[in-house]
Homo-oligomer: A and B are copies of this chain.
């Protein structure tokens, strides 16, 4: 049995759901309410000592970190390929995916917004400015790269892959926070085109 420990609105969980759906892998899901700190329970910490979602139980392993999980799935279930094999193309796709996964998302996730509120006394307006700031900081460069380098409807051509898997949840959450995405026409176009595909639609938060 393949079991995904996750939270619907978590961008990192959403990425793994898309990858599983693209590869047509059946799995069960266990949901954790982050606001209730369910991912910090002793039960979950015994599964993932870092206490974050997602965690994927598969092949007798407990895999954590969305990008590492997707890399594993891409080797274990090679079709469709999500991360290019050719080194230069692989580096380009991974760099753009990591700009979302390392430079944007970690700053805007729920635990950080909670710290801003609870520890630093920042009101909702300040938290929303923070949220938008890091989206803009990353999307500005990504939009320039996508305009210059996208090979077709998606970054690497006719089919979406790791970059769109990271982009779609980030665009979804930017919209939840009413971030102005109008400067990022190429990114939004790629995200919406991916969202029209059944694997992406199926993985979206209900």
Contacts and interface: CB of A to CB of B under 8 A. Distances in A.
B141 A49 contact: yes
Nearest to A76: B87
Interface residues of A, number: 52
B102 A63 contact: no
Given A88-B61, A101-B102, A102-B102, A68 B50 contact: no
Contact of A115 (B65, B98, B99, B130): B130
Interface stretch (A29-37, A89-97, A152-160): A89-97
A59 B59 CA distance: 38
A95 B68 contact: yes
A69 interface: yes
A142 B50 contact: yes
Nearest to A46: B144
A52 interface: yes
Contact of A88 (B59, B99, B141): B59
Interface in A48-82: 48-52, 59, 61, 63-65, 67-69, 71-72, 75-76
Contacts of A88: 59, 61, 72
Interface of A: 45, 48-52, 59, 61, 63-65, 67-69, 71-72, 75-76, 87-88, 90-92, 94-95, 98-99, 101-103, 105-107, 111-112, 115-116, 119-120, 122, 126, 129-130, 133, 137-138, 140-142, 144-145, 148
> Which are the 8 A-B pairs with shortest beta-carbon distances?
A50-B141, A68-B94, A49-B141, A49-B144, A106-B106, A65-B95, A65-B98, A68-B95
30 contacts: A49-B142, A49-B148, A50-B99, A50-B138, A50-B140, A50-B141, A50-B145, A52-B103, A61-B88, A63-B95, A65-B94, A65-B95, A68-B90, A68-B92, A68-B94, A68-B95, A68-B98, A69-B91, A71-B91, A71-B94, A75-B90, A101-B102, A103-B106, A106-B106, A107-B112, A115-B130, A116-B120, A119-B133, A120-B120, A120-B122
